[in-house]
Structure 1
C-alpha cells in the first residue's frame, strides 16, 4: 500500500518551514482507496514568493486546523504504507519535522518519483513535476496546490509501475512492507483479487515470482490454480504466499506483457511457456506463371512469415475464410491439390487463376490485399484497445513493422501526437511471439481501432 502525498509550505529557513496544505492519496497499486486533503494553519508567516506560487495566503489559513489537530489522521492514513512523493526527501523531511515538534517520531519507508522517473523514463528534458507530466500527456489541474500535485503524482506513479518491467517496485514493497501482503491462506488470497483482465504474479515468501499468467478474470483463474490437482498446481499451492496483479483492461496488452515477462523473469513454473507459442505460418511464393501462391506450413525461423498460427488447423481455417473473403483460388492457396482447375472454378466461384484464365495482375492484387491486411511489415501504426478505466485507452506501437512497446493514454489527448506517444510507451522486445500474439489478436478482434502514423 502506498501513501502518495504532496505538501505546500511557508518557505523560509531550512527546518523552520511550516505546512500550509497537505494532500495524501492512499493507493493500493491500482486505485485510490482513501484520501486526506486539508489546509493547515502554520502559525508563522508565509514567504511572499510562496504566496505568488501557490495562491495560499495567511487570511485563507486563519481558521484552518493546526498541524496537531490533523496529526492523528495523517498517522492513520499512512499506517503500513510506503510514502511516495515527487522529491520525497523534501516532503518526508517536512512531515517528520512537524511530528518531531509534537514529540513524535514519524517513520515510514519512502519512494521518490523523481528518482524512479530518471531510471524508468530516461532522457526527459526536465524532471520537475509540471514539465514531466505535461511531456507524458498526464492531465494535471491545480498546479502548485497539494491536491492537484498529489493527484498528478498518483497518475505518474501508476505509469511508473507500468514501466517497471522488472517489477522491482512491487517486489520491494512486498519485502519491506509485510502488512501489504495478503494472508497466506488460499481463500483469503482469492477474496482480495478482482474479476478483471490483467496479468497476475504468484509470489513465494521471499517475494520472488514463481508463476506469471494472464486472464480475463484474475479471481477465477487463481481459484483454478488453487483447486487443480495436477503436479504443477500442487507445487504452486504449497509455495504461494501472495498474488499481485496488474490490470491491463486489454487482453492484447495482457498477452504481450505475459509473454515478455515470462521470458525475462523465467519463473520456475512457467517453463512450458518460455517456448514459441505457434507452430505454423502463412508463406507466399510466386509460381512459374507469375501467380502469387499462399501456403500454410510448419513455422521456419529462417523464412519470414506473413502471419502465424497456434496449430495447423487454425491456419487451414484461416485459409478457407480467406479464399471466400478475397475470392482466391483453392489450388493456389494449397487447399485443393489438382493439376487442372480447382473445385470452386467448376461451381463458378473462382475466376480461373488455377488454369491461367484470370491474369496474374488481377489475381495477385487480391492476394496482396490479404497479405497487407494480415501483416504489419513496414507499417507505422498504433493499435488502440481498451484501457483500465472508462476514460483511458491502451496503445500498442508498431514502427516500420517492428513492435516497439505499449502504454496508456487519456482520451482527452490525441494519440497521433507522436512525441507524447513515444514518451508514454514502455519499450518491449519485438520477437516472433509478439508478432504472433498481435496478428492473432487482430484476426479475432476485427473491431480494434488501428491508427496509421507518419
Structure 2
C-alpha cells in the first residue's frame, strides 16, 4: 500500500512551519481505497506569500482541528504504507516535526515522485508538479491546495508505475509486504486479485519476479496456476509468496507488456520468449511478367515479411479470406500450383492474371491494398484501444513503421501534438515479436481504432 499525500504549511523558518492542510490518499497500486482530507489549525501565523499562493488564511482555520486532533487518523491511514509525495523529503520532514512536538516517533518509508519522474520520464523542461502534470496531460484541479495536489500526485504515480519497466518500485514494495505475511495461503492471494485484463507477476519470498503472464481474467489465471498439477505449476506453487498485477484494459497492451517484460526481467519460470511464436509469414515478389506474387513460407530472419502468423493453418486461412476479399488469383498467391490458369479462372472468379489476361497494373493495385492493410511498414499511426477505466483509453504509437511504445490518456485530454503523445508514451523495444503481436491483434480485432498521423 501507498499513502500518497500533500501538505500545505504556514511557511516560515525551517522546522518552525505548521500544517494548514493535509490530504492523504491510500492507494493499492491500482485504485484509491481510503482518503483523509482536512484543514488544520497550525496555531501560528501564516506567511503572506503562502496566503496568496494557497488562498488559505487564518480566518479559515479558526474552527479547524489542531494537529493532535487529526494525528491518530494520519497514523492509521499511513500504517504499513510507503509515503509517496512530490518532493517527499519536505512533506515527510513536516509530518515528523509535527509528531515530534507531540512526543511521538513517526517513521515510514518514502518515495519521491520528483526523483522517480527524473528517472522514468527524463528530459522534461520542469519537474514541478504543475508543469510536469500539464506536460503529461494529467488534469489538475485546486492547484496549491492539498487535495488537488495529492490527487494529481496519485495520477502521476500511477503513470510512473506503468513506466517502471524494471519493476523496481513493485519489487521493493512486495519484499516489505511478504515479510509480514509469509504464512498467507494461495487462496488468500487469489481472493485479493481482480477478474480483469492485465499482466501479472508472481514473486518469491525475496520479492523477485519468478513468472510473468498476461490474461483477460487475472484471478482465474492465477487460480489455474495454483491448482494445476503440472511440474512447472508445482514449482511455482512451492515458491510463490505474492502476486502483483498491472491492469491494462486492452489485451493488446497486455500482450506487448508481457513480451517486453519477460525479455527485460528474465523470470526463472518463463521459457526464453518463444522464438517460434510466429512460425510462418507472408512474403511478396514480382514475377517476370510484372505481377506481384504472394507466398506463405516459414519465417526467415533476413527477409522482410508483410505480416506473420502463429502457424501454417492461420496463414492459409488468412490467404483464403484475402483471395476472396481482394479478388486475387489462386496461382499468384501460391494456393493453386499450376502452369496454366487457376481453378477460379474456370469459374469466372479470377480475372485472368494467371494467364496474363488481366493487366499487371490492375491486379497489382489490389495486391498493394492488401499489403497496405496488413503491414504498417513506413506508416505513422496510433492504435487506440480500451483503457484501464471507463474514462481512459490506451494508445500504441508507431512511427515510420517502428513500434515506439504505449501509454494511456484521459478522455478529457486531447492528444493534439506529437510532443503530448510522446510524453505519455512509455518507450518500448521494436522487434519481430512486437510486430507479430500488433499485426495479429489487428487482424483479429477489426473494430480497434487506427489513426494515421
Shorter-chain TM-score bucket reads over 0.9
Q: Deviations over 1:20-55 (max 9, x none)?
A: 000000000000000000000101110000000000
How far apart are 1:183 and its partner, in Å? 5.6
- Paired position in structure 2 for 1:167: 167
- Paired position in structure 2 for 1:62: 62
SS in 1 for 2:364: helix
- Paired position in structure 2 for 1:88: 88
In the alignment, structure 1 residue 245 sits paired with structure 2 residue 231: no
CA contact (8 A) 1:87 1:114 kept: yes
Q: Deviations over 1:206-227 (max 9, x none)?
A: 1111100000000000111111
Decide which moves more: 254-263 or 171-180: 171-180
In the alignment, structure 1 residue 35 sits paired with structure 2 residue 35: yes
How far apart are 1:180 and its partner, in Å? 7.5
Give unpaired runs (5+ residues) of structure 2: none
- Provide the rounded CA distance (Å) in 1 between the counterparts of 2:53 and 2:380: 43
How far apart are 1:178 and its partner, in Å? 3.9
Q: 1:377 to 1:117 in 2, by over 3 A?
A: same
In the alignment, structure 1 residue 210 sits paired with structure 2 residue 191: no
Name the Cα RMSD after superposition: 1.1
How far apart are 1:338 and its partner, in Å? 1.1
Q: 1:181 to 1:217 in 2, by over 3 A?
A: farther
How far apart are 1:177 and its partner, in Å? 4.0
TM-score (norm 1): 0.98
How far apart are 1:276 and its partner, in Å? 4.3
CA contact (8 A) 1:295 1:333 kept: yes
CA contact (8 A) 1:140 1:148 kept: yes
- Paired position in structure 2 for 1:326: 326
Q: 1:249 to 1:411 in 2, by over 3 A?
A: same
- Paired position in structure 2 for 1:409: 409
- Paired position in structure 2 for 1:198: 198
- Provide the rounded CA distance (Å) in 2 between the counterparts of 1:21 and 1:12: 16
- Provide the rounded CA distance (Å) in 2 between the counterparts of 1:193 and 1:30: 11
- Paired position in structure 2 for 1:294: 294
SS in 2 for 1:335: coil
SS in 2 for 1:97: helix
- Paired position in structure 2 for 1:390: 390
In the alignment, structure 1 residue 2 sits paired with structure 2 residue 2: yes
Q: 1:388 to 1:159 in 2, by over 3 A?
A: same
SS in 2 for 1:158: helix
How far apart are 1:181 and its partner, in Å? 6.1
- Paired position in structure 2 for 1:148: 148
Q: 1:276 to 1:60 in 2, by over 3 A?
A: farther
- Provide the rounded CA distance (Å) in 2 between the counterparts of 1:79 and 1:178: 16
Give unpaired runs (5+ residues) of structure 1: none
Q: Deviations over 1:415-452 (max 9, x none)?
A: 24211110110011000000000000000001101111
Decide which moves more: 343-352 or 196-205: 343-352
- Paired position in structure 1 for 2:267: 267
Q: Deviations over 1:50-96 (max 9, x none)?
A: 00000000111110000000000000000000000000000000000
Decide which moves more: 15-24 or 274-283: 274-283
SS in 1 for 2:277: coil
- Paired position in structure 2 for 1:115: 115
CA contact (8 A) 1:174 1:180 kept: no
- Paired position in structure 2 for 1:284: 284
TM-score (norm 2): 0.99
Q: 1:357 to 1:413 in 2, by over 3 A?
A: same
- Paired position in structure 2 for 1:336: 336
How far apart are 1:303 and its partner, in Å? 0.2
How far apart are 1:189 and its partner, in Å? 0.8
- Paired position in structure 2 for 1:53: 53
